[in-house]
Amino acid sequence: MTARTLFDKVWDAHAILTGPDGTTLLWIDRHLVHEGSFHAFAMLDRDGRGVRRPDLTFGVADHYVPSHPRSQQIADPEAAGLIARLAANAAKHGFDSMGMDDPRQGIVHVVGPEQGITLPGLTLVCGDSHTATHGALGALAFGIGASEVAHVLATQTLWQRRPRQMRITIDGRLGPHVSAKDLILAVIAAIGSAGAVGHAIEFAGPAVRALSMEARMTLCNMAIEAGSRTGMVAPDDTTFAWLAGRARAPAGAAFDTAVAAWRALASDPDATFDRAVRLEGSAVAPMVTWGTTLDSALPVTARLPDPDSLPDPEARARTAEQLAYMGLVAGTQLAGTRIDQVFIGSCTNGRIEDLRAAAAVLRGRRAAVPGRVVAGSVPIQRAAEAEGLDRIFTAAGLAWGEPGCSMCTGINGDYVAPGARCAATSNRNFAGRQGPGARTHLMSPAMAAAAALAGAITDVRQEASP
């Protein structure tokens, strides 16, 4: 048999047929929807169709959910209406949905793995680009558009064109206070924000194997920011230990049987990739974005680029435009750049490990600027509160919000003011992402905590508690 990659094995197991144009009809094992999926349900209603497999469909309210206490009414009637519409569609079509009052509620890409909905070797889709997160468990997961959401709802299948494949190998180990967020920002800086367009990424190597499941999810979450629709990590003992006991994961003897099958999902030793990238993990420093694209990430110790030093006219113009929007001066130190607030949360960095990392920096200290900390799900929120992390954040002067996408998306009442500068642990920094005129610097939870203490971008390796 021809040697196959992890991607090949999952794709081939779900291919129903290939059309004359080369596209493949895939069976979809899990379909996640959120309140923004209302367009697709409207298409079903228009065509008089139902949900083909409600048992494989899962709803989560997250994008428009405010982070203020659940006892308060949602101020925006449109947001309230979308959340109510998701609940109504779930009741109409008979699928499980986790609304604002559900103890499982959270961000869709946090809830899926947490509840054991996401499992190795499955295909999983959602109407959100950061569905790539679920690939950390060895699933083939990717975001889809509204018409594709409707197609999956109606048929539990989806037409897709097979992408090329890229393996990104990280050798060595990450240094102290260097996280998966720093690693993926370094990868994107190295290959560009369009470097993986048309490819499916598999992350591999010793540094990746050493990562926790939460960290692997951060890595795969931002594969989309390198241009790929999906990122994957082959399942291993770390994966299996993390899945054991999850609500929707197999249990008992069935779990042992599943693990035996999941072990076969690793890429064959002689499998070939269309492109290979290799980085040294020990060379990665804490990273910060300075511009409005993801490949604008630099080590915190670096200086801002000077457009005049760039030979390419388009690069000069693009760099100058980004510096102007961000209100930054070419050639100055990135560290020391003043910030106005911080945001710690999102489907990228809202898991318990992320909250612990931020709390470790903030413990016993007072932030110089305001900020908001939001857990990725209710179970994570409760776990953090049981550990006293919420009290560390509030004692530092930061707000402790209810689970949801919060300030990452700027569509739920949590905004960054025009012209204000935010140190954020989320996944996108384009102009206006966190609100009209907002200036976003992406970084890890520990780096955001260090920035909160200093009121400026700073190297967490200098600010971290002993």
Question: What pLDDT, in 10s, does the model give residues 376-385?
Answer: 999 999 999 9
CA-atom Rg of the chain in angstroms: 21
pTM, two decimals, is 0.96
pLDDT (0 to 100) of residue 152: 98
Query: What is the CB neighbour count within 10 angstroms for residue 243?
Result: 23
Whole-number percent of the chain with pLDDT over 90: 92
Q: How far apart are CA 133 and CA 118, in angstroms?
A: 10
What is the overall mean pLDDT for the chain? 96
Look at residue 1 and tell me whether its pLDDT is greater than 90: no
341 forms beta bridges with: 422
pLDDT (0 to 100) of residue 75: 83
Q: What is the mean pLDDT of residues 456-462?
A: 96
Look at residue 465 and tell me whether its pLDDT is greater than 70: no
Q: How far apart are CA 83 and CA 352, in angstroms?
A: 26
Question: What type of residue is 405?
Answer: C
Q: How far apart are CA 336 and CA 356, in angstroms?
A: 25
Look at residue 354 and tell me whether its pLDDT is greater than 50: yes
pLDDT (0 to 100) of residue 464: 59
Whole-number percent of the chain with pLDDT over 70: 99
Q: What is the 3-state secondary structure (H, E, C) of 363-413?
A: CCCCCCCCEEEECCEHHHHHHHHHHCHHHHHHHCCCEEECCCCHHHCCCCC
Residue with tokens 């420093």: 285
Look at residue 463 and tell me whether its pLDDT is greater than 90: no
Classify 274 as helix, strand or coil: coil
Confidence of residue 406 (pLDDT cuts 50, 70, 90): confident
Q: How far apart are CA 283 and CA 331, in angstroms?
A: 23
pLDDT (0 to 100) of residue 268: 97
pLDDT (0 to 100) of residue 277: 97
Q: Domains (ranges, CATH) in the chain?
A: 6-163+236-262 (3.30.499.10), 165-234+267-283 (3.40.1060.10), 289-463 (3.30.499.10)
pLDDT (0 to 100) of residue 71: 81
Half-sphere exposure of residue 225: CA atoms within 13 angstroms, side-chain side: 30
Q: How far apart are CA 98 and CA 106, in angstroms?
A: 8
Q: How far apart are CA 84 and CA 76, in angstroms?
A: 12
With CA atoms as reference, report the closest residue to 193 among 293, 342, 115. Answer: 293
pLDDT (0 to 100) of residue 76: 86
pLDDT (0 to 100) of residue 415: 87
Confidence of residue 353 (pLDDT cuts 50, 70, 90): very high
186, containing H or E segment: helix 180-191
Instruction: Calculate the CA 107 to chain-centre distance.
Output: 10
Q: How far apart are CA 246 and CA 383, in angstroms?
A: 15
Q: How far apart are CA 177 and CA 163, in angstroms?
A: 35
Classify 160 as helix, strand or coil: strand
The length of the chain in residues reads 466
Look at residue 344 and tell me whether its pLDDT is greater than 70: yes
Q: What is the mean pLDDT of residues 326-345?
A: 97
Q: How far apart are CA 151 and CA 146, in angstroms?
A: 9
Taking only the tens place, the pLDDT of each residue in 190-213 is 999 999 999 999 999 999 999 999
Taking only the tens place, the pLDDT of each residue in 238-277 is 999 999 999 999 999 999 999 999 999 999 999 999 999 9
Compute φ and ψ for 457, nearest 5 degrees: -65, 130
Encoded tokens for 250: 């197999």
DSSP-derived pairing of the beta strands 15-18 and 23-27:
antiparallel
Residue with tokens 């072990």: 263
